[in-house]
Chain A
Amino acid sequence: MLRFCTHVLRAHGIAASGSSIGFTTVPFFRWSAWLHTSVPNYHKPNSLIDGQEKVDITYIDKEGKEHTVAAQIGENLLEVAHDNEIDLEGACEGSLACSTCHLIFESEDYYKKLPEATEDELDMLDLAFGLTDTSRLGCQVVVTKELDGARVRIPAASRNFYVDGHKPKPH
C-alpha cells in the first residue's frame, strides 16, 4: 500500500526521489507521518494501529528466502507484501487486470480455507506463469484469522522456463 502510494506520488514528481523503492527510507517515513497520527515506524506499519489484529504470514520469495510478517486482518496479500517490502509485483494495482501478484499456497489446508475465487479472478489466474492447484492472486486474498501461519510462495522462473512446457501465452 505504501509502495503503491509512493509510486503514484513519485510518478507525479511529488515525493522525494532520493533512491529506489527498495532502498528508500525517507519517503516512507514522510508518508507514515502523513497517514498516521501516532509516532511513525516505517518498518512495521501494522503496529501503528493499536488493537488491530494481526496474523503471521510467511512469504517465500523468488530466491527461496523466507519472510515472516505480521499481516493485518482485512488487508490483501499484495498490500501486506508491499507493506513489508517483499518483492511481489502488482502491475495493475489490484484491479484484476493482470496476474503478476500470483501466489502459491504451500499447504492445501490453508488454500481450502479461502473463499472461492470468483470467475474474474480465475480468468486472470489462468494466464499466470507457473499455475498450480493451490494458486491464487494475492490481491484477491484477504487476510483473516484462519490464515495465521500460512506460507505462500512467489513463483520464480525456473532455469528451463523456455524449454519445459512453455506455452506461448495469448495477449
Chain B
Amino acid sequence: MLRLASQGASLALSSNSLCNSHIASLACSGLRLWSAAFTTTSNSVPEKLHVCVVGSGPAGFYTVDRLLKRYGDRVHVSILDRLPTPFGLVRSGVAPDHQDTKNVTNQFSSIAADPRVSFLGNVLVGRDVDVNELRALHHAVVLAYGAESDRRLGIPGEDVVPGGGVFSAREFVWWYNGHPDARHLHIDLSKVRSVAVCGIGNVALDCARTLLAPPSRFVHTDLAAHALTQLMGDHQTGGGSAVREVHLVARRGPVQAACTPKELKELLTDCGVSARTAAPDQLTVSEADSAEMKATRLKRRVFELVSKAVADASAADAAAGAAGGSSPQRRRDLFFQFYRNPVEVLRGPDGAVTGLRVERTVVRPDGPGGTSVAVGSGMFDTIPCEMVLKSIGYKSLPVQGVAFDCRRGIIPNVAGRVLQQADASASSPTSASTSGSAEGGPDEVAAANVGLYVVGWLKRGPTGIIGTNLVDAEETVDSLAGDAEALLRAGEMSHGSAGPPGAAGLEALLRQRGVRVVGWRRWRLLDEHELAAGRAAGRVREKVTEVREMLRVCGFAVE
C-alpha cells in the first residue's frame, strides 16, 4: 500500500500541477477522474470513491457535505465517532441556552441519513480499529476528531490529587452538557462560593454564565440533569449552587480579549450579574489599543460593553448606598480581572483550593509577529476561590500511526494533506498560522501521506466558530479531489477493479470484532428517547449521560 501510495504521490503531483491554478478546474477534475475510471480498467465499472471521516462534529460533517456535493452518486462516506452520539461539540460544547446554534444538526442529520453515508458511532480509532486498517478499507481517510485535551497553566498547585478543584473549561462544559467522560467529575457547587476562570474567550463566558445566571434559565434546555440539580438544588442536595462570584482572569487587557460582543452582551445584560473590576488599572488601554478599537468594530464593542457594565454596577451600588439600609441585592458578581497572570493555585491543609495567586501584568506591543505580550510587574494579588477553571485553549491528541506536532497540538499538514512522520518536524514555523502555506513546494507535496487528510481543529488548531469549518472542509476536500485519480488507481491496484470495500468492509470488520456499532438508525432511537424524556419534563431534551445506558436504549443487550 505504501509503494502504491508513493506511485500515487507522483500521479498526485502531476494532477496537482494541472489543477493548481483554478478552482473551476477542480470541478473539471471530478469529470476527469470519472473518465479515467472508465478508461483505466478493462471492466469499466464506474467505481465509487470510498472515504472515511473520523469524527462527526462540524468539521467531519462539512467534509461529508462537500464530498457528496462534489461526487454525487460516485462516493460513499463512512463517518465515525467514538461516542454513540454524533455532532461533537455541537452536542457537548455549545451552551444549553444557545439552542439556535444547534440548528446545524438538522443539516448534519440530513447528511447522515443519506444512503451514501454510513454513520458508525461507538467506534474508537486506536482501540476498535486503527488508522492503517481504515486506510486499507477506503481510498482516503480524513481525520476530523478535533481537540479533546487542554493547554495547561503549568503552575504550582495545578494538579494536586486529592484536592481537585481545578478543571479545564472543556471538562466543566462537558460536565454540564452531559458528556459521558465528564459525568463523574468531582464537582460540588454547594461548596463553592467563588470561581476563578483563567481566560476570557467565549468558552470562559459560557462557564461564567452557567455559574452565575439564575438556574431557571436552564430548566427548559438540554443542560444535563445532574448539573441542573446542582444549580437548583433539591430536597436531597439542599440549596443548590453556592456560587456568588466568578472572576475572569486575563493576562492582557480588554482589547486583547478573545470573547465576542454577542456573548459578552448576553452575559452582562441577561444574567442578573453585576460587572466589576478589582482594581482601577484593569480597564486601562494603551494608545495602540485605542488605535485598534478605532479600526475594529468588534474590539470597540467589547471594550464599550465591559466599561459600561462596570460603570453601571458602580452607579447602582452608589444609588443603593445613598438610599441607605441593606441592599436586597441578589445579583451575583462577575469580576473582569484584566492584566492578571495566574502563578499559583493556593490550597488549604486538606488540599482543597482556597485561592488563585496572580501577578499584575503590563502589556508590551513588541511580542513575536507584532502581537502584544504581557510582562510581569512584580506585584501580586490573591483571588479567593474554591474552584479554578482553565479556559486557555483546547489541544488535540495524537493518534497512533500518524505524525503529530506536539508544540502546536495539530497534525502537520499542507492544505489538509497530512505530512509523513519524517517531515513532521520540518513543518515550518514560517508557514503562517497552523496549516502551512498552500503554496507547498514539490518536496512537501511529494512527502504528503497521500490518502490521509485532516480537517477542523485537528488541522488548524482550536480556533474559529462552527462555520469556520465550512471553508476549512472545502480546502481539505479540494486537496483530496486533486489526489482522487491517483487514489482510485491505487485502490484498483490493491483491491481489483471494485476498489476497497469502504463502509461495508469496515462494518464487517467491526462486527467480526464484536464492536457494538451505533449506526444512524440506532442513534435515532436514542435521539427520540432523549426528546421524549425531555417532553415529559418540559425540556428540550433529557440527555442520557452514560454510554452503557445509551447502548441499552439503542437496542444493545447490556449487563
Chain A interface residues (CB < 8 Å from chain B): 4, 6-8, 10-13, 17-23, 62-64, 87, 89, 91-93, 95-100, 120, 122-124, 126-129, 156-157, 159-163, 166, 168-171
Contact mask B68-109 → A, CB, 8 Å, 1/0? 110011000000000000000000000000101101111101
Task: Give which listed residue, B98, B105, B259, B474, contacts A97 with CB less than 8 A.
Answer: B98
Could you list some 26 contacts between A and B, CB below 8 A?
A: A7-B106, A10-B109, A10-B113, A10-B114, A11-B105, A11-B110, A19-B115, A20-B72, A23-B72, A23-B73, A63-B27, A95-B100, A97-B101, A98-B465, A99-B467, A126-B301, A127-B260, A161-B475, A162-B415, A162-B432, A163-B438, A168-B463, A169-B468, A171-B201, A171-B463, A171-B468
CB of B100 within 8 A of CB of A92, answer: yes
Q: Does chain A have a CB within 8 A of B435?
A: yes
Chain B 515-533, CB-CB to A under 8 Å as 1, else 0, gives 0000000001000000000
Cβ-neighbour of B104 out of A62, A91, A159, A166 (below 8 A): A91
Q: Which residues of B contact A (CB under 8 A)?
A: 23-24, 27, 68-69, 72-73, 98, 100-101, 103-107, 109-110, 113-116, 201-203, 258-262, 265, 297-298, 301, 415, 431-439, 460-468, 470-471, 474-475, 524
Q: State whether A129 touches B468 (Cβ < 8 A).
A: yes
- Name the prevailing secondary structure of the A interface residues: loop
Query: Is B258 within 8 A of A170, CB to CB?
Result: yes
B434 touching A171 by the CB < 8 A rule?
A: no
In contact, A162 and B434 (Cβ under 8 angstroms): yes
Q: Which chain B residue lies CB-closest to A102?
A: B467
Other contacts beyond A64-B24, A123-B298: 5, CB < 8 A: A11-B109, A62-B474, A95-B100, A163-B437, A170-B201
Min CB distance, A130 to chain B, in Å? Answer: 9
The smallest beta-carbon distance between A49 and chain B, in angstroms, is 25
Which residues of A have CB within 8 Å of B106? 4, 7-8, 11, 93
Task: Give the distance to chain B from A53, nearest Cβ to Cβ, in Å.
Answer: 30
A126: chain B residues within 8 A (beta carbon): 260-261, 297-298, 301
Give CA–CA (A137, B135) in the complex, Å: 40
By Cβ-Cβ distance, the 10 closest A-B pairs, closest first, are A11-B109, A95-B100, A168-B463, A91-B104, A97-B100, A100-B467, A123-B262, A93-B103, A10-B110, A7-B110
A122 to B265 Cα, complex, angstroms: 13
User: Complex Cα distance A99/B116, Å?
Assistant: 28
Q: Which residues of A contact B107 (CB under 8 A)?
A: 7, 91
Which among B105, B114, B466 is the interface contact of A20 at CB below 8 angstroms?
B114
User: What's the nearest-Cβ distance from chain B to residue A56, in Å?
Assistant: 25
Taking a contact as CB atoms under 8 Å apart, the answer to whether A170 and B432 are in contact is no
- Chain B interface, DSSP helix/strand/loop, else mixed: helix
B456 vs chain A, min Cβ distance (A): 12
- A11 — nearest CB in chain B belongs to which residue? B109
CB-nearest residue of chain A relative to B203?
A: A171
A157 adjacent to B474 (CB under 8 Å): yes
Listed residue (A62, A93, A98) with the most chain B CB atoms within 10 angstroms of its CB? A98
Task: Determine if B113 and A17 form an interchain contact, defined as CB atoms under 8 angstroms apart.
Answer: yes
Q: Are B100 and A157 in contact (CB under 8 A)?
A: no
Contact indicator A168/B433 (Cβ below 8 Å): yes
Which residue from chain B places its CB closest to the CB of A91 in the assembled complex?
Answer: B104
Q: Closest B-chain residue to A65, C-beta based?
A: B24
Determine the chain A residues whose CB is within 8 A of the CB of B474 once the complex forms: 62, 156-157
Residues of A within 8 A of B461 (CB): 168
Q: Choose among A18, A21, A89, A96 the residue that contacts B470 (Cβ–Cβ < 8 A).
A: A89
CB of A63 within 8 A of CB of B23, answer yes
In the bound complex, do residue A92 and residue B101 qualify as a contact, i.e. CB atoms below 8 Å apart? yes
Closest to A128 in B: B467
B91: min CB distance to chain A, Å: 14
Query: What are the residues of chain A within 8 A of B98 when measuring CB–CB?
Result: 97
Residues of A within 8 A of B466 (CB): 91, 98, 100
Knowing A92-B104, A166-B432, A171-B201 touch, does A6 contact B467 (C-beta < 8 A)?
no
User: How distant is the Cα of A64 from the Cα of B23 in the complex, in angstroms?
Assistant: 9
Q: How far is the CB of B18 from chain A (nearest CB, A)?
A: 15
On whether the beta carbons of B113 and A169 are closer than 8 Å, the reply is no
The reply to whether B104 and A98 contact each other, CB–CB distance below 8 Å, is: yes
Interchain nearest-CB distance for B553 vs A (Å): 17
A162 near B114: Cβ-Cβ < 8 Å: no
- List, in ascending order, chain B residues with CB within 8 A of A160's CB: 438-439
Contacts of B203 in A (CB 8 A): 171
Distance of A129 Cα from B462 Cα, bound (Å): 17
User: Which of A93, A95, A157 has most chain B Cβ within 10 Å?
Assistant: A157
Nearest chain B CB to A129 CB, angstrom units: 6
CA distance A65 to B465 in the complex (A): 27
Q: Which residues of B contact A95 (CB under 8 A)?
A: 100, 103
B85 CB to nearest chain A CB (Å):
14
Write the nearest CB–CB distance from B271 to chain A, whole angstroms: 17
Residues in A with CB closer than 8 Å to B23 are 62-64, 156
A62–B475 alpha-carbon span in the complex (Å): 12
Q: How distant is B53 from chain A, measured CB to nearest CB, in Å?
A: 16
- Which residues of B sit under 8 angstroms from A163, Cβ to Cβ? 431-432, 437-439
User: Which residues of B are found within 8 Å of A99, using beta-carbon distances?
Assistant: 465, 467
**How distant is A127 from chain B, measured CB to nearest CB, in Å?**
6
Chain A nearest CB: distance from B394 CB in Å? Answer: 9
A11–B72 Cα gap in the complex (Å)?
A: 19
A122–B298 Cα gap in the complex (Å)? Answer: 9
- Chain A residues within 8 Å of B260, by CB: 123, 126-127, 170
> In the complex, which of the residues A18, A63, A87, A92 contacts B24, with contact meaning CB atoms closer than 8 Å?
A63
Across the interface, do B475 and A157 meet the contact criterion of CB distance under 8 Å? yes
Of the residues B113, B433, B467, contact of A162 by C-beta under 8 Å: B433
B residues less than 8 Å from A19 (CB atoms)? 72-73, 114-116
